[in-house]
């Protein structure tokens, strides 16, 4: 038990270290100084209050998209559609944000809820198709990403506005932005959404590990036959798992719509918040705490990287490569596990 | 006498458990040596040590008198040790020959010389009477043939010592006979065989000597000619084992389960249960005898709510339970020990403790208002583990890590503990050793004596004869006759199962 747990914690850490190490090698090969590069990365992420604020802002949607992927995986489903669910969540939140005039106590929760519901609905479709017709969720969710992207553009251009490329800014009563947080961090875009994201991590942990519903969801994820035998409704739990996963993703969209930007614009491609969520979930071993930590790492890398070209002359592309390498090492965790066990054997 | 294999004072530990301790195994050249032990006694662990998959903490291994260190299966192969695993490791879409040479292919200028390989495989196959077609695809041949391919694989690699891990578990009686013939011709050619098994009949039939392991400890080695099944069983289990289960005559009371004119279709939409009638009374065990595929599985799934009934009725007391959901069926007082414990009986990746509440997790005291109470769950699990002698490091161990017998005991504990009116026991002892079988039979009889109705499905005639108070013979989707076990014998039952209704059995 104990040995296994240590290994489970060791693997992501070793993966990250190996990723950083190979990133250093690549920087060397291309003639950059890796020490200077990583130093720039560090100051770019934590160097002063502004950078710290931006890093935490970036972490916020990553936590939620990571939770979305992790939740589905824990229930035996591969939700590749988090990206699309982020989009519909974003649009829904901004729509409510610009369309209504309400006191904040109603307006903000309504906008957040709209995002969650939109994402949940976007998850419901692949869920019900799988439960009723046995259609594989991966295919449906991938396709739904494109539907979400172009539908969002259409809504922004022709429904919310009259042919414009971005919506008006949302009413202040629907905004997550905070003078106080911004003031503390030299006017970064840090907003209250971080608290929502952390709270949702707690929700996921409690729901999966402490409730009867979570017991059913995990049971169906592991063994549908035994779950059916034990009197659980397999179809209902599959749909519910996708709905909850989609709701997490929708909230990630709200973080951008109500927090970071305060509007929605026509997009030419994906934001990658959802796709990065897959990596976050993987690195976080699909646990709530793991996802929060992994999201923190990804946010750090993303924001810190912005500082690398200017200070150390290292191109941002290289940081993307480092992130990709870390993911590769996490994905091959089987290999690392094998090596660790091998060493333990030899040591005895 | 020289030994080809000597394992001396072997000790192997896993975190929290000693799997092997102080085990000695000495195999002579040209003998069939049985390795006997209960499920989970440590037979497989010991063989994995010999095959280089595990390193022992203590002890030494000698091959032909020379001390060796077997660090991985390749070393074992080089020393002439070959292993045929219980689960075959074959590529389905490859031919027999391709599977056999895989990894050590004969080459001709950079390509595989499949002609030469096929010739070699054919020669080997003929020499040992294996009779396999070198060109056949694995997916097209029977399980028994696939096993022979595995044996050929080890011979092709020059194995002198073959380890067969429960080889008969997957075979039909005819195939078992043929395998025994193959084993004899192998030893005649000077090979040695280690046979891992818990079936006493096989040991008596084919083995020369037998080494017994009990709970990870070496008990000793006996000559098969000097012993008998009863002695072997008590060596293995550590106490006297009775083969025929003792029970008092049944005292059937009111009818608990009554099935009328039931029709059930299988997945293909073919009627498998065709107008079946059956009653089970409180305080009796009704055994369903029949050849596999005569609608038994569909019948049981229909009662348990796992399969839709087309027409007819299933009643528990006066309540119609036809086509209720599995949960409703469970709540109305039915327990179901499923045929396939891995597919249906357990969530293997859940801890044993959580598997113990698989049907009752939503009820108090295991949860309240949708929040699980793990303290109460594990308290209950601990009670069941102790009462049903489930051997597991603790209740937090994943069900996957338990041996088959202990998994089955956990399921039976869970199902019986709900105090059901009707217990459906589908092949409750499949693949288990005598100790576990005896335990499970005792428990089922105990439940009968408490006034529960037990519906037993088994393909082992011995089990049907031993346990049932009434035998219902199922053929082609119907009960074609009902007999008392004392009024029949295995031969007559066999005839009835094939569709004959002899007069003296008083057909239906």
Asked whether residue A236 is domain-assigned, the answer is yes
Nearest to A223 among B336, B348, B362 (CB): B348
Nearest to B372 among A215, A226, A230 (CB): A215
Asked whether residue A344 is domain-assigned, the answer is no
Residue of A nearest to B16 (CA): A1
Place of tokens 């035994």: A226
Other beta carbons within 10 Å of A10:
14
Closest listed residue to residue B151, CA positions, set B191, B114, B94, B117: B191
Phi, psi at B76, each rounded to 5°:
-60, -45
Report pLDDT for B505.
43
CATH code of the domain in which A95 resides: 1.10.3470
Report pLDDT for A7.
75
Q: Is the pLDDT of residue A2 over 60?
A: no
Interchain CB contact of B359 with A (< 8 Å): yes
Report pLDDT for B480.
92
For residue B500, what pLDDT band results from cuts at 50, 70 and 90?
A: confident
Same CATH fold assignment for domains B3-237 and B242-333+421-508 = yes
Task: State the smallest CA–CA distance between residue B374 and chain A in angstroms.
Answer: 8
Higher pLDDT, A201 or A30: A201
Report pLDDT for A312.
86
Asked whether residue A102 is domain-assigned, the answer is yes
Task: State the smallest CA–CA distance between residue B121 and chain A in angstroms.
Answer: 35
Q: Is the pLDDT of residue A292 over 60?
A: yes
* Structure tokens, A316: 């941002």
Beta carbons of A208 and A218 less than 8 angstroms apart: yes
Report pLDDT for B472.
96
Separation between Cα atoms, residue A289 and residue A312, nearest integer Å: 33
**Would you list the domain boundaries of chain B?**
3-237, 242-333+421-508, 341-419
Average pLDDT along chain A: 91
Separation between Cα atoms, residue B91 and residue A80, nearest integer Å: 31
CATH entry, B3-237, from 3.40.50.300, 3.40.1550.10, 1.10.150.20, 1.10.760.10? 3.40.50.300
Q: Which of A334-338, B153-157, B160-164, B384-388 has the lowest mean pLDDT?
A: A334-338
Q: Is the ipTM of this complex over 0.90?
A: no
For residue B460, what pLDDT band results from cuts at 50, 70 and 90?
A: confident
Per-residue pLDDT of A105-134, as tens digits, reads 999 999 999 999 999 999 999 999 999 999
SS3 readout for chain A: CHHHHHHHHHHHHHHHHHHHHHHHHHHHHCCCCHHHHHHHHHHHHHCCHHHHHHHHHHHHHHHHHHHHHHHHHHCCCCCCCHHHHHHHHHHHHHHHHHHCCCCHHHHHHHHHHHHHHHHHHHHHHHHHHHHHHCCCHHHHHHHHHHHHHHHHHHHHHHHHCCCCCECCCCCHHHCCECHHHHHHCCCCCCECHHHHHHHHHHHHHHHHHHEHHHHHHHHHHHCHHHHHHCCCCHHHHHHHHHHHHHHHHHHHHHHHHHHHCCCCECCCCCCCHHHHHHHHHHHCCCCHHHHHHHHHHHHHHHHHHCCHHHHHCCCHHHHHHHHHHHHHHHHCHHHHHHHHHHHHHHHC
- Domain containing A224 equals 49-293
Chain A residues in contact with B396 by the CB 8 A cut-off are: 1
Asked whether residue A17 is domain-assigned, the answer is no
Closest listed residue to residue A165, CA positions, set A177, A152, A146, A176: A152
Chain CA centroid to CA A266, Å: 21
Closest listed residue to residue B444, CA positions, set B283, B302, B299: B283
Q: How many domains does chain A have?
A: 1
Beta carbons of B474 and B290 less than 8 angstroms apart: yes
Q: What average pLDDT does this structure show over B441-461?
A: 92
Higher pLDDT, B200 or B479: B479
Asked whether residue A101 is domain-assigned, the answer is yes
Asked whether residue A88 is domain-assigned, the answer is yes
Per-residue pLDDT of B174-223, as tens digits, reads 788 889 999 999 999 899 999 998 888 889 989 999 999 998 889 999 99
Nearest to B372 among A212, A230, A232 (CB): A212
* Structure tokens, B318: 């006066």
Q: At what angle do helices A273-283 and A82-99 cross, to 10 degrees?
A: 130
Residue of A nearest to B55 (CA): A345
Per-residue pLDDT of B27-68, as tens digits, reads 999 999 999 988 778 888 899 999 998 999 999 999 998 999
The second-level CATH assignment, the architecture, of B242-333+421-508 is 3-Layer(aba) Sandwich (3.40)
* Structure tokens, B477: 């989707």
For residue A1, what pLDDT band results from cuts at 50, 70 and 90?
A: very low
Contact A1 B15 (CB under 8 A): yes
The answer for B 106-145 residues in CB contact with A (under 8 A) is: none
Closest listed residue to residue B337, CA positions, set A116, A226, A202, A170: A226
* Structure tokens, A88: 């519909």
Place of tokens 């750090």: A300
Chain B residues in contact with A76 by the CB 8 A cut-off are: none
**% of chain A beyond a pLDDT of 90:** 70
Chain B residues in contact with A207 by the CB 8 A cut-off are: none
Chain B residues in contact with A230 by the CB 8 A cut-off are: 326, 358-359
Q: Is the pLDDT of residue A171 over 80?
A: yes
Interchain CB contact of B401 with A (< 8 Å): no
Asked whether residue A327 is domain-assigned, the answer is no
Report pLDDT for B454.
96
Closest listed residue to residue B158, CA positions, set B181, B183, B130, B190: B190
Q: What average pLDDT does this structure show over B416-424?
A: 94
Residue of A nearest to B357 (CA): A230
3-state secondary structure of B32: strand
Other beta carbons within 10 Å of A28:
12
3-state secondary structure of B27: strand
Q: What average pLDDT does this structure show over B468-477?
A: 94
Average pLDDT along chain B: 90
Hey, what's the torsion of the CAs at B45, B51, B53, B54, to 10 degrees? 50
Q: What average pLDDT does this structure show over B378-400?
A: 93
Nearest to A212 among B325, B344, B370 (CB): B370
Length of chain B: 508
């Amino acid at each position: 038990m104990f040995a296994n747990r240590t290994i489970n914690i060791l693997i992501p850490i070793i993966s990250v270290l190996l990723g950083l190490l190979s990133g250093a090698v690549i920087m060397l090969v291309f003639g950059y100084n890796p020490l200077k590069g990583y130093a720039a990365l560090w100051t770019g992420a934590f160097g002063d209050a502004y950078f710290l604020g931006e890093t935490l802002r970036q972490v916020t949607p990553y936590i939620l998209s990571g939770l979305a992927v992790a939740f589905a995986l824990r229930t035996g489903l591969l939700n590749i559609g988090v990206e699309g669910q982020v989009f519909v969540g974003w649009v829904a939140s901004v729509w409510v944000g610009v369309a209504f005039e309400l006191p904040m106590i109603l307006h903000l929760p309504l906008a957040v809820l709209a995002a969650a519901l939109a994402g949940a609905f976007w998850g419901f479709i692949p869920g019900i198709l799988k439960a009723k017709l046995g259609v594989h969720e991966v295919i449906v969710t991938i396709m739904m990403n494109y539907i979400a992207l172009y539908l969002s553009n259409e809504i922004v251009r022709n429904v919310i506005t009259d042919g414009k490329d971005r919506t008006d800014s949302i009413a202040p009563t629907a905004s997550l932005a905070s003078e106080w947080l911004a003031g503390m961090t030299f006017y970064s875009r840090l907003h209250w959404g971080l608290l929502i994201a952390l709270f949702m991590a707690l929700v996921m942990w409690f729901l999966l590990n402490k409730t009867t519903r979570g017991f059913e969801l995990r049971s169906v994820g592991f063994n549908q036959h035994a779950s059916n035998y034990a009197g659980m409704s397999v179809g209902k739990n599959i749909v519910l798992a996708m709905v909850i996963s989609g709701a997490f993703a929708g909230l990630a969209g709200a973080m951008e719509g109500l927090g970071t930007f305060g509007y929605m614009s026509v997009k030419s491609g994906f934001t990658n918040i959802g796709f990065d969520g897959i990596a976050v979930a993987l690195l976080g071993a699909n646990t709530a705490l793991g996802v929060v930590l992994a999201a923190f790492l990804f946010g750090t890398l993303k924001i810190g990287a912005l500082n690398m070209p200017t200070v150390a002359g290292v191109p941002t592309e290289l940081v993307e490569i480092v992130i990709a390498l870390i993911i590769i090492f996490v994905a091959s965790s089987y290999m690392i596990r094998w090596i660790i066990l091998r060493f333990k054997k030899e040591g005895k | 006498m020289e030994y080809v294999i000597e394992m001396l004072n072997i000790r192997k530990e896993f975190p929290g458990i000693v799997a092997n301790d102080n085990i000695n195994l000495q195999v002579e050249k040209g003998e069939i040596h049985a390795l006997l032990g209960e499920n989970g006694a440590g037979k497989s662990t010991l063989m994995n040590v010999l095959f280089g998959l595990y390193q022992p903490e203590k002890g030494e291994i000698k091959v032909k008198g020379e001390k060796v260190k077997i660090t991985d299966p390749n070393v074992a192969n080089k020393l002439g040790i070959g292993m045929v695993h219980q689960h075959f490791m074959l590529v389905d879409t490859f031919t027999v020959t391709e599977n056999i040479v895989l990894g050590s292919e004969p080459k001709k200028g950079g390509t595989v010389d499949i002609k030469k390989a096929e010739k070699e495989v054919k020669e080997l196959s003929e020499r040992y009477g294996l009779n396999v077609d070198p060109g056949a695809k694995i997916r097209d041949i029977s399980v028994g043939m696939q096993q022979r391919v595995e044996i050929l694989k080890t011979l092709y690699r020059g194995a002198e010592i073959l380890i067969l891990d429960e080889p008969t578990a997957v075979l039909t009686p005819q195939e078992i006979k043929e395998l025994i013939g193959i084993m004899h011709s192998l030893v005649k050619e000077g090979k040695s065989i280690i046979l891992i098994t818990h079936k006493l009949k096989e040991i008596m039939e084919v083995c020369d000597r037998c080494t017994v392991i009990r709970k990870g400890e070496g008990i000793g080695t006996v000559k098969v000619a000097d012993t008998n099944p009863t002695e072997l069983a008590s060596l293995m289990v550590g106490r006297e084992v009775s083969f025929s289960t003792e029970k008092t005559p049944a005292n059937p009371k009111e009818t608990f389960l009554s099935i009328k004119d039931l029709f059930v279709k299988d997945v293909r939409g073919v009627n498998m249960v065709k107008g079946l009638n059956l009653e089970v009374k409180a305080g009796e065990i009704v055994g369903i005898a029949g050849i596999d595929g005569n609608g038994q599985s569909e019948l049981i799934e229909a009662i348990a709510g796992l399969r839709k009934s087309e027409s007819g009725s299933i009643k528990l007391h006066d309540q119609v339970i036809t086509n209720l959901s599995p949960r409703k069926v469970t709540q109305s007082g039915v327990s179901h020990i499923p045929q396939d414990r891995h597919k249906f009986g357990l969530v293997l990746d859940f801890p044993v403790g959580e598997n113990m509440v698989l049907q009752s997790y939503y009820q108090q005291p295991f949860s309240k208002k949708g929040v699980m109470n793990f303290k109460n769950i594990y308290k209950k699990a601990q009670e069941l583990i102790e009462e049903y002698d489930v051997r597991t490091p603790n209740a937090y161990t994943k069900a996957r890590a338990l041996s088959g017998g202990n998994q089955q005991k956990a399921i039976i504990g869970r199902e019986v503990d709900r105090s059901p009116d009707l217990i459906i026991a589908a092949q409750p002892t499949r693949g288990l050793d005598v100790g576990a079988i005896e335990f499970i039979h005792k428990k089922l009889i105990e439940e009968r004596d408490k006034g529960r109705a037990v519906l037993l499905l088994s393909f082992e005639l011995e089990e049907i004869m031993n346990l049932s108070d009434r035998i219902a013979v199922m053929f082609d989707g119907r009960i074609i006759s009902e007999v008392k076990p004392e009024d029949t014998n295995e031969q007559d039952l066999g005839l009835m199962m094939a569709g004959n209704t002899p007069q003296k059995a008083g057909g239906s």
